[in-house]
């Protein structure tokens, strides 16, 4: 097939639209996972035995199962679950996009919660003690003292999760979402040029992650501006 013919450009355009869907899915999934994950992470720091036991079991299940299965479970079983919760008299349509956002959120909120736990462990205990010595109320202490420091500690791990979520988003195409990878597959099948379209699709992911890595490096220097670098 000729490069830059009308047909070729058509497929490229379709892939660009797919890339937009992929980015939307990624942004929605990651930001929801971030918010919920941080909240859950803080809540499950509680010493309450019930919360601890529940969290142990839940996180072990979610982190011990491929995210692809969770996507399938939510896509195929989502409407049954929703009508189970909200009553069977209503019917619910679960779109691949919705199922994908839900699955990414559920899986990666778990990882982010564990990341928050790790960051809190790494925070010097004196920070908490100083807060209570100064009679700073818990909410204010978290907001102004603990969370800003956690951000710095958790940032490298968060960027790892960012990358993993980015590479898990194409899995939603297997539930029928018309994203970048699905469109690349269509184009590859129709034109019999799998190399061009699949390599183009992977270059998109590589470029996007390279861009975010650069941004994250800047962010890291900014968060670390108060910290002296230790020369090994």
Note the residues at the interface with other proteins (CB under 8 A). Answer: 44-45, 47, 52, 55-56, 60-61, 63-69, 72-73, 76-77, 80-81, 83-85, 88, 111, 114-115, 117-118, 121, 156-157, 160-161, 163-164, 166-171, 173-174, 181, 184-185, 188-189, 192-195, 198-199, 201-202, 205-206, 209-210, 232
Which residue blocks in 44-90 are alpha helix, DSSP H?
A: 49-63, 67-86
Q: Give the residue with the Cβ less far from other proteins, 7 or 160.
A: 160
**Residue 151: CB minimum distance to other proteins, A:** 15
Residue with tokens 């559920």: 106
Round to whole Å and give the CA distance between 126 and 138.
15
Q: Give the residue with the Cβ less far from other proteins, 135 or 230.
A: 230
- Which DSSP category does 144 fall into? I
Round to whole Å and give the CA distance between 31 and 101.
10
Spell out a b/e string for 166-177, using b for 16 or more CB atoms within 10 Å of the CB, else e.
Answer: bebbbbbbebeb
Q: Locate 103 and state its tokens.
A: 């699955």
Q: Give the residue with the Cβ less far from other proteins, 8 or 72.
A: 72
**Residue 211: CB minimum distance to other proteins, A:** 11
Round to whole Å and give the CA distance between 164 and 177.
19
Q: Give the residue with the Cβ less far from other proteins, 2 or 135.
A: 2
Farthest CA pair distance, the chain: 73
Round to whole Å and give the CA distance between 47 and 156.
27
Round to whole Å and give the CA distance between 55 and 41.
10
Q: Give the residue with the Cβ less far from other proteins, 140 or 189.
A: 189
Q: Give the residue with the Cβ less far from other proteins, 140 or 153.
A: 153
**Residue 115: CB minimum distance to other proteins, A:** 7
Round to whole Å and give the CA distance between 79 and 74.
8
**Residue 28: CB minimum distance to other proteins, A:** 18
**Residue 163: CB minimum distance to other proteins, A:** 5
**Residue 126: CB minimum distance to other proteins, A:** 15
């Amino acid at each position: 097939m000729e490069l830059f013919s009308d047909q070729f450009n058509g497929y490229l355009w379709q892939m660009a639209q797919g890339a937009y869907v992929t980015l939307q899915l990624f942004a929605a999934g990651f930001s929801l996972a971030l918010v919920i994950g941080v909240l859950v992470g803080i809540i499950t720091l509680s010493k309450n035995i019930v919360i601890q036991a529940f969290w142990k079991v839940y996180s072990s299940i979610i982190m011990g199962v491929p995210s692809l299965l969770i996507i399938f479970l939510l896509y195929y079983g989502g409407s049954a679950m929703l009508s189970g919760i909200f009553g069977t008299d209503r019917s619910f349509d679960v779109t691949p996009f919705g199922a994908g956002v839900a699955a990414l959120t559920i899986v990666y909120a778990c990882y982010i919660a564990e990341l928050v736990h790790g960051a809190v462990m790494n925070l010097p205990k004196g920070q908490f003690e100083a807060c209570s010595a100064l009679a700073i109320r818990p909410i204010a202490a978290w907001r102004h003292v603990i969370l800003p420091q956690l951000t710095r500690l958790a940032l490298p791990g968060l960027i790892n999760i960012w990358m993993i979520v980015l590479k898990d988003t194409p899995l939603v195409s297997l539930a029928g979402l018309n994203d970048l990878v699905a469109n690349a597959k269509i184009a590859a099948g129709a034109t019999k040029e799998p190399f061009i379209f699949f390599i183009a699709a992977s270059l998109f992911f590589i470029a996007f992650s390279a861009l975010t890595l650069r941004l994250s490096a800047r962010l890291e220097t900014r968060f670390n501006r108060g910290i002296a670098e230790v020369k090994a």
